Amino acid sequence: MNYKILCSDLDGTLLTSKSDVSELTIAEIRRIKTQMRIILVSARMPSAMTYLQQDLGIEDQPIICYNGALILDGDQELSSVHIDTDHLDEIYGLAKANGTQLGLYHKNEWYVPTDSERVQKEIRYTKTTPVFRPTPETLSDWKDRELGAHKIMLMSTKTNADALYPILEEELGSYLNLYRSNDTLIEIAPKSVSKLSAIQSLLRQGESLEHVISFGDNYNDIEMLQNSGCGVAVGNAREEVKAISNAVTLPNTENGVAHYIRKHLVI
């Protein structure tokens, strides 16, 4: 198959470490980038992705942020879907009663109420910095500015997250996408978008999903991998992700994406 677009998740997939792509990955992407479009697809905020675009030499390509809630092409906003303030208020109320903190994201804005080990990890891994202020202040500010959240990160303990997730699913599951990124984190995104829907919106005339080769590792990559012409799971991917993929490559820490490109995308 003559693939025209390569789409890759970042964390746990294209990134060899927690925050960077390897020299091998850079070399392989630069080798093929004149023959196919390279689109980064992530739950990250834009500023946590653009430095990787620069490393890979693909600044001329669009990026899919927040699992599809925001699509940017340079300074141009191609698509933006956010969680409205009514749902934000409800989520905050449920989280507060559960002892869970909110990380709120809109475009390149990131707000958290207090510092924590989790927040410091996010700072290190994504090379971004939040604004520290109480969540009610952020919600009030966003109402005044008529903004919503492209993503919400609920930061908790495993016990509290176990208790909160089914409540959120029952109360808001029909309106929002809920995603358990690990034992202590719950990510919330608009229901109407996904990595797949974002990729579909970027297809040009004469292109279809059959022309897409995609790489991923986690639950939020399944739809993208299943519907691409070729969906490739890295070796460290969840078993459910490997099961639906067309191929499995090496783990991200062993440059799995780069090795697959080198072996199978001979341009």
- Tell me the pLDDT tens digit for each residue of 7-23: 999 999 999 988 899 99
Do 185 and 197 lie in one domain? The reply is no
pTM: 0.94
Mean pLDDT of 221-246: 97
Condensed to tens digits (0 to 9), the pLDDT of residues 100-151 reads 999 999 999 999 999 999 899 999 999 999 999 999 999 999 999 999 999 9
CA 252 to chain CA centroid, nearest Å: 16
74 plus 90 within the same structural domain: no
Beta strands in the chain (DSSP E): 5-8, 37-41, 63-65, 70-73, 76-80, 101-106, 109-112, 131-132, 151-155, 176-182, 185-190, 212-216, 230-233, 247-248
Q: How far apart are CA 235 and CA 250, in angstroms?
A: 5
Which tokens is 115 given?
A: 């510092």
Residue 66 shares a structural domain with residue 151: no
Distances (CA, A) of 255 to 25, 64, 132, 198: 7, 22, 35, 26
CATH of the domain at 145: 3.30.1240.10
Domain that holds residue 61: 5-80+193-264
Total number of domains constituting the chain:
2
Contact 22, 31 (CB under 8 A): no
- Residue-wise pLDDT tens digits, 142-190: 999 999 999 999 999 999 999 999 999 999 999 999 988 888 999 999 9
The DSSP secondary-structure symbol of 229 reads S
Residue 179 has a pLDDT of 86
Residues 180 and 222 in one domain: no
Given a cut of 70, whether residue 267 has pLDDT beyond it is no
- Give tens-digit pLDDT for 21-33: 999 999 999 999 9
Same domain? For 173 and 208 the reply is: no
Length of the chain: 267
Same domain, 162 and 220: no
Same domain (yes/no): 184, 89? yes
